[in-house]
Amino acid sequence: MKNLLITSIVLLNLTLICFSQNETNEMLNNFNESIKKGDLNEVKNSIPKIININEIDKDGYSPLLIAILNNKVEILELLISKQSKCE
């Protein structure tokens, strides 16, 4: 019975971690899309929700690099002011 309880707790934690990771990936994708579109207001509103403003996306790009590649100067300045790094 004790092993079943421990197994259930472990599975619940793994499920929560996977859900949290998927939510984080979706938030990062939406954030990066806002950068590409040049939606300064959406980027400003999203920054407090982003766990790591320097997180690299599935393609290997940071938000700062996306702003640079898409010539989004205002967003670039905003990200730099928020301690974003180009890695």
Q: What is the DSSP string of 8-30?
A: HHHHHHHHHHHHHHHHHHHHHHH
The number of folded domains in the chain is 1
Structure confidence at residue 26 (pLDDT): 86
Please report whether residue 86 resides in a domain: no
Is residue 55, in this structure, part of any structural domain at all?
yes
Q: What is the average pLDDT across 14-20?
A: 43
In a domain, 74, yes or no: yes
pLDDT at 15 over 70: no
Flag whether 87 is in a domain: no
pLDDT at 40: 96
Q: What is the pLDDT of residues 19-68, one digit of tens each?
A: 344 556 888 999 999 999 999 999 999 988 877 888 888 889 999 999 99
- pLDDT of the residue at 82: 85
Residue 22 located in a structural domain? yes
> 69: domain range?
2-81
In-domain check, residue 41 = yes
Task: Determine phi and psi for 42, rounding to 5 degrees.
Answer: -65, -40
Within a domain: 66: yes
What CATH number should be reported for the domain holding residue 31? 1.25.40.20
30: which 2 tokens?
């939406």
Q: Is 8 among the domain residues?
A: yes
Please tell me the pTM assigned to this model. 0.70
pLDDT for 20: 44
